[in-house]
Structure 1
Amino acid sequence: MPIKDQIKNFAKKLVVERPDPPTLRALVSARKPAAIHFRDDGIVPNNPHLPMLLYRGAVNLKSRRFPPDVVIDTLFDMNGWGRSWRDTVYDFVHYHSQIHEVMGVARGTARIECGGVKGRILRLKAGDVAVLPAGTGHRLIEASRDFLVVGAYPQTGTYDECTDTRERPDAIKRIAKVRKPKTDPVLGARGPLLRSWRRQAART
């Protein structure tokens, strides 16, 4: 999301009560994520080495004390993924060539196309978390009226938004240079993202 959305969300953080680390850990399910690979489809480059990771039911959002978007936002922030935003997902195909992205569903359900038109349409619901490596195409197909996503980014990398096929040659070069994050946005420094992405990179 643009900088203005991140600034707006930062302002919200200053006025809401946020769960502490022990409370957060109790709300997180240490499930193994599904790894989904997407090939370059000629339009969207996707990521040649790193799979998208999908954590089903990663966060228990039934806390009466904290709103679900606050829980997810705080979880990502605690694990080193910041510059967050709260909104829906764009309904046009786009990807980020200089940074990875995590999206956690705070409310509602949606069908989101990942990997471009030749990728997969995934049904996401509240509590699910998807980690998209740089280059992964995504767009909203349809969503419930109450659909709300919290998005965030690792500490390294620069936000950009690629939608034009003329950008492909340069975007592919940028994707190859994006550093792997130091932490898993859901499970922290020892989370499965680090092992999964390290193994995949070693195979190539």
Structure 2
Amino acid sequence: MKHEFDSAFHPADIAFKTLKLAPHAWVPNNSRLPVLIYRRAVDPSTKDLGKTFEALLAGNEWLPQWRDSIFDYHHFHSTAHEALAVISGKAEVIVGGPGGEVVSVAAGDVVLLPAGTGHCLQSTEGRFQVVGAYPEGQQWDIRRDALLKEEIAAMEALPFPRSDPVAGRKGPLLQEWT
């Protein structure tokens, strides 16, 4: 699915796709909220893509907290939604837990993972690195096991971010996560 939206920071033709995931084995995923994958959210030839993404994310109320790769084991975050902005290289990432969907990403792309969404680095090309960011007020955890009923309820009760990590208050998150 391709959507277009306006942004003062980006071209008007940023494409994104949605990915709906059901619970799978011990990975809860998030059956209410789709994964959003933004293609070329920022031009990959931008001089310092890391700083550019960090400024963009912070300006949209998603706090950049680290730069690194993605863990090469299946995991999810139950206490925060996560935006992964690709600042270098290419990768294949398994989304949805073991046996999930393989998603190809490259510099300039952003993957928005609702809390509970399993993810794991499968392979890389070049020096693959991302910026990890989270909505203001949410602190991430790392889970590799099933959640208790109370933990699932707490995860599902997480507040929606006030803005899209890529396009602020005009972005697709505000339409797709309603």
TM-score by length of 1: 0.79
Larger radius of gyration: 1
Give, in angstroms, the shift of residue 112 of structure 1.
0.4
Residues 134-153 of structure 1 mapped to structure 2, 5 A cutoff? 134-153=115-134
Paired AA for residue 181 in structure 1: P
Residues 180-199 of structure 1 mapped to structure 2, 5 A cutoff? 180-198=160-178
Query: Hey, what does 1:46 align to over in structure 2?
Result: 29
Whole-Å Cα distance in 1 between the matches of residues 38 and 114 of structure 2? 14
Q: Is the 8 A contact 1:93 1:116 kept in 2?
A: yes
Unaligned ranges ≥5, structure 1: 1-23, 199-204
Choose which of 100, 112, 136 in structure 2 pairs with 1:155: 136
Whole-Å Cα distance in 2 between the matches of residues 36 and 120 of structure 1? 9
CA-based RMSD of the aligned residues comes to 1.7
Structure 1 residues 98-145: Cα deviation after superposition (integer angstroms, max 9, x where no partner): 110000111100010001123201111111111000000001011124
Matched, 1:173 2:153: yes
Whole-Å Cα distance in 2 between the matches of residues 126 and 29 of structure 1? 19
Query: Hey, what does 2:52 align to over in structure 1?
Result: 71
Whole-Å Cα distance in 2 between the matches of residues 156 and 28 of structure 1? 29
Q: Which of the pair is proportionally richer in helix?
A: 1
Q: Secondary structure at the match of 1:118?
A: coil
Q: Secondary structure at the match of 1:33?
A: strand
Query: Hey, what does 2:43 align to over in structure 1?
Result: 60
Cα 1:105/1:29, change in 2 over 3 Å: farther
Q: Is the 8 A contact 1:154 1:181 kept in 2?
A: yes
Q: Is the 8 A contact 1:43 1:168 kept in 2?
A: no
Cα 1:152/1:58, change in 2 over 3 Å: same
Cα 1:29/1:151, change in 2 over 3 Å: farther
Choose which of 118, 121, 125 in structure 1 pairs with 2:99: 118
Identity of aligned residues (%): 35
Unaligned ranges ≥5, structure 2: 1-6
Q: Is the 8 A contact 1:115 1:136 kept in 2?
A: yes
Give, in angstroms, the shift of residue 168 of structure 1.
4.4
Structure 1 residues 72-95: Cα deviation after superposition (integer angstroms, max 9, x where no partner): 111101111004211000011111
Query: Hey, what does 1:20 align to over in structure 2?
Result: none
Choose which of 79, 84, 90 in structure 1 pairs with 2:65: 84
